């Protein structure tokens, strides 16, 4: 109790509170602009924290991290261009909602669920940090593989009527993820003798291309921008308490999953968002509606990705191991103040550790209000004609793609995926499975190959670890059930004559 | 009309199938550095290519079957008209922009790209066209290069000198 009181005393002073508020708002702004993100923001702020008091510096960095994880969803919902990788899954349903004129509700769900997910993970973090860190360290390659496979089973649910097209799209994404240097043998794969593809295909330019550029191309063809389809008056509309209660299990499940995935080193909030989305589909009574613009498609990933941000702080604070790219940068923030995160810090500086917990509570609440403000600002752009907005989106898409690695190849990747996305739309191939495959491709392949090598290529040993076996069994059962439901629905539609058209 | 679409479907399946065969051949080049026994660098790509081939054959087969039964459905027809011309112009514009960034730089090229794109999308208000296409690139440059230290393409020769005036 004394430690908590001391931590409160450290935080509740004007300067520290100002650092938290400005950090959270700055994080939301950075996250919402494609090409900038919270990792970059924290890295740039570290030198500034050098002259600050330790608690103020760390509070600023933690707040930027919290705000940045949410910020990306604003541009993902409004323009289908995720501001940060963590928001990629949010656009799958957020953007169709915005196109239908429900951007205000979509933003409201994103902000509220990010806040709840973030608060939940901080609560978990300060209650059971050391225990969770130990459990996370017992995860090995087979468990990572099982997690990735479980998330990939989502592909079956995203194909609408055509399962085979969803699978082809998903496998295409997985294949694109193999381009570049093989992380195990350093072999060049599908680089065709050039240097351009050696670094692989980053999924952000691919995503921007597949969703934003393909839409710009379609608009050029039809001269009908999305904003002209529905006259939108956007002002963020937070969901009512009753609506939150109605989705309580979805929010809780996604927050638990997000926190658990965030704790695993190297997995991160992007994977958490897709797994959150995947589980939202799996547990839904109407999985066929996902991708058409429903709140559950926002609640799942947004609760999960912000929970993962808090979760990623657990191994950082308890073991000194970063759980994500941004937490790896935050270690630098500790180091400039002569601190080494880990178990000893809890013993030597308990007040400072608890002040970080309090910071993250406050930052998540500030993010709610900061998010409303930034979303309001971005929403103004929805009123602009698409003939003006389209080129602006393209400029940000180009800068966002280029800014990731400062490499022109990423612009070509963006354009290539724009073409692929356009063709896929025309021939009714779902695009989302390709992006999910691309995001999870590395994790799936590497965990499979490393895991099999560890068990000397004995498949039984690989699959019989209790956690991995349980996750895989659930994933396979759910996949079978999804395929069965889709086939049943298709057969029902055929019997009723729905969807069948004569050939001309 | 639907037959045209289905031909397109089958054509895509064939492109995927033969593309996979070519890439399968490419995977033979990965074996040179294989040191990890059974699951080398080509194992996973080959597995995926095999799956893709199977799926593409399945789609081509079911589409052909649908054509035969008269149950094919689509919303796409290939034809060459003004919208298609606009589509190809947009593609050409993007290609030119990406190619031109290295030569002309972000500062010089982006306003022209934006003006061309706005006209292509049907915008006719000259005030907005000029204002937005000048203000947005400069704002992006200030935000990215001055505030966040993210470099943007500067171009070459005289265009490099022009860019260096600002960033």
Position A208 pLDDT exceeds 70: yes
Is residue B159 a part of any domain in this protein?
Answer: yes
Indicate whether B137 belongs to any domain. Answer: yes
> Which DSSP helix (H) or strand (E) runs through A181?
strand A180-181
Residue B75 inside a domain? The answer is: no
pLDDT at residue B104 tops 70: yes
Sorted by sequence, the CB contacts under 8 Å of residue A403 that are 6+ apart come out as A34, A35, A36, B144, B150
- Pair (B59, B88) in one structural domain: no
Tell me the average pLDDT across A379-386.
77
**In terms of pLDDT, which residue wins out, A408 or A85?**
A408
CA distance A465 to A461: 7
Q: Are residues B103 and B35 in the same domain?
A: no
Tell me the per-residue pLDDT of A337-366, one tens digit each, with 9 for 90 and over: 888 887 777 778 888 888 888 998 999 999
Binary contact (A391, B40; C-beta < 8 A): no
Q: What is the pLDDT of residues A113-146, one digit of tens each?
A: 999 999 999 888 878 776 766 676 777 888 889 8
Q: Is residue B87 located within the same domain as residue B145?
A: yes
Predicted pLDDT at B46 = 93
Q: Is residue B105 part of a domain?
A: yes
Instruction: Assess whether B112 and B146 both reside in one domain.
Output: yes
Assess if residue B90 is contained within a domain: yes
Length of chain A: 504
Q: Which domain holds residue A455?
A: 2-490
Q: Residue B6: pLDDT band by 50, 70, 90 thresholds? A: low
B122 lies in some domain: yes
Question: What percentage of chain A reaches a pLDDT higher than 70?
Answer: 91
Inside any domain, residue A502:
no
What is the C-alpha separation between A64 and A60, in angstroms, rounded?
Answer: 6
Whether residue A11 is contained in a domain is answered as yes
**Least confident segment among A51-55, A270-274, A435-439, B72-76:** B72-76
pLDDT at B68: 77
In a domain, A498, yes or no: no
Structural domain boundaries, residue B6? 2-69
Q: Contact A115/A251 with Cβ under 8 angstroms?
A: no
Does residue B74 form part of some domain? no
Interface test with A, best of B15, B98, B102, B136 (most A CBs within 10 A): B98
Q: At residue B24, does pLDDT exceed 80?
A: yes
Domain end residue (candidates: B23, B38, B69): B69
B42-93 pLDDT, tens per residue? Answer: 889 999 999 999 999 998 888 888 777 776 555 455 566 788 899 999 999 9
Residue A52 exposure: Cα atoms within 13 Å on the Cβ side: 19
Inspect the interface and report whether the beta carbons of B94 and A172 lie closer than 8 Å.
no
C-alpha A489/C-alpha A476 separation (Å) is: 20
Q: What total number of domains does chain B contain?
A: 2
| Contact check, Cβ <8 Å, B44/A445 | yes
A423 touches chain B (CB under 8 A): yes
Q: How far is CA B132 from the centre of its chain?
A: 25
C-alpha dist (Å) from residue A469 to A142, A229, A334, A381? 9, 48, 38, 48
> What pLDDT score was predicted for residue B37?
58
**Which residues in chain B are closer than 8 Å to A168, comparing Cβ atoms?**
16, 52, 55-56, 59
In a domain, A206, yes or no: yes
Pair A387, B122: CB distance under 8 Å: yes
Answer yes or no: are the C-beta atoms of A10 and A55 closer than 8 Å: yes
pLDDT of residue A260: 86
Which residues 53-72 on chain B approach chain A with CB closer than 8 angstroms?
A: 55-56, 58-59, 62, 66-67, 70-72
- The answer, yes or no, to whether residue A230 has pLDDT greater than 50, is no
Q: Which pTM does this prediction carry?
A: 0.80
B89 with B45, same domain?
no
Q: Does any domain span residue A228? A: yes
Q: Are residues B64 and B87 in the same domain?
A: no
Q: For residue range A293-304, list pLDDT tens digits in order.
A: 899 999 999 999
Q: Look at chain A and report how many structural domains it folds into.
A: 1
């Amino acid at each position: 109790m004394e430690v908590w009181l001391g931590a409160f005393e450290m935080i509740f002073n004007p300067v520290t509170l100002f650092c938290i508020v400005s950090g959270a708002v700055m994080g939301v702004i950075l996250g919402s602009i494609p090409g900038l993100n919270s990792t970059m923001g924290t890295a740039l702020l570290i030198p500034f924290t050098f002259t600050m008091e330790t608690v103020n510096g760390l509070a600023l960095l933690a707040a930027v991290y919290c705000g940045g994880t949410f910020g990306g969803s604003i541009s993902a919902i409004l323009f289908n261009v995720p501001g940060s990788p963590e928001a990629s899954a949010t656009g799958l349903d957020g953007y169709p909602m915005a196109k239908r004129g429900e951007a205000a509700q979509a933003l409201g769900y994103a902000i509220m669920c990010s806040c709840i997910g973030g608060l939940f993970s901080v609560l978990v973090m300060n209650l059971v940090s050391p225990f969770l860190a130990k459990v996370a360290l017992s995860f090995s390659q087979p468990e990572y593989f099982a997690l990735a496979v479980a998330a990939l089973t989502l592909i079956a649910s995203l194909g609408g009527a055509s399962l085979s097209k969803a699978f082809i799209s998903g496998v295409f994404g997985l294949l694109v993820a193999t381009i570049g240097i093989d992380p195990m043998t350093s072999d060049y794969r599908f680089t065709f003798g050039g240097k351009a593809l050696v670094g692989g295909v980053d999924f952000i330019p691919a995503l921007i291309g597949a969703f934003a550029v393909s839409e710009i191309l379609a608009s050029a063809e039809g001269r009908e921008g999305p904003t002209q389809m529905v006259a939108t008056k956007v002002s963020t509309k937070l969901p009512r308490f009753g609506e939150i209660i109605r989705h309580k299990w979805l929010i809780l499940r996604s927050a638990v999953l997000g926190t658990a995935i965030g704790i695993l080193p190297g997995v991160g909030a992007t994977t958490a968002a897709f797994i959150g989305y995947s589980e939202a589909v799996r547990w839904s009574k109407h999985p066929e509606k996902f991708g058409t613009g429903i709140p559950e498609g926002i609640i799942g990933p947004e609760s999960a990705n912000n929970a993962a941000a808090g979760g990623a702080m657990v191994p950082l604070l308890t073991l000194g191991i970063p759980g994500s790219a941004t937490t790896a940068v935050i270690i630098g923030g500790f180091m400039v103040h002569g601190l080494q995160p880990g178990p000893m810090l809890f013993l030597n500086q308990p007040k400072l550790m608890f002040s970080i917990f309090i910071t993250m509570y406050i930052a998540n609440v500030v993010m709610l209000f900061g998010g409303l403000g930034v979303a309001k600002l971005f929403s103004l752009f929805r009123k602009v004609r698409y003939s003006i907005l389209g080129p602006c989106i393209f400029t940000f898409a180009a800068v966002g793609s280029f800014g990731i690695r400062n490499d022109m190849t990423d612009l070509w990747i963006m354009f290539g995926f724009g073409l692929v996305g356009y063709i896929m739309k025309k021939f009714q191939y779902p695009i989302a499975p390709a992006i999910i495959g691309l995001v999870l491709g590395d994790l799936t392949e590497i965990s499979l190959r490393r895991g099999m090598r560890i068990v000397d290529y004995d498949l039984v040993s690989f699959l019989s670890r209790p956690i991995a076996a349980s996750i895989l069994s659930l994933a396979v059962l759910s996949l079978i059930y999804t395929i069965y439901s889709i086939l049943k629905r298709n057969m029902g539609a055929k019997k009723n004559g729905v969807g069948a058209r004569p050939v001309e | 009309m639907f037959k045209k679409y289905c031909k397109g479907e089958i054509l895509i399946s064939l492109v995927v199938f033969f593309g996979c065969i070519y890439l399968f051949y490419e995977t033979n080049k990965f074996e040179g550095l294989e040191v990890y026994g059974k699951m080398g660098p080509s194992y996973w790509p080959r597995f995926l290519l095999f799956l893709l081939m199977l799926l593409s054959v399945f789609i081509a087969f079911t589409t052909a079957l649908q054509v035969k039964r008269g149950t094919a459905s689509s919303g796409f027809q290939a034809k060459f008209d003004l919208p298609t011309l606009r589509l190809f112009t947009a593609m050409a514009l993007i290609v030119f922009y990406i190619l031109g960034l290295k030569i002309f730089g972000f500062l010089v090229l982006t306003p022209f790209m934006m003006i061309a794109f706005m006209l292509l999308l049907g915008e006719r208000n000259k005030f907005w066209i000029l204002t937005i296409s000048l203000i947005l690139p400069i704002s992006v440059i200030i935000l990215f290069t001055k505030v966040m230290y993210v470099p943007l393409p500067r171009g070459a020769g005289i265009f490099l000198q022009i860019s260096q005036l600002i960033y």
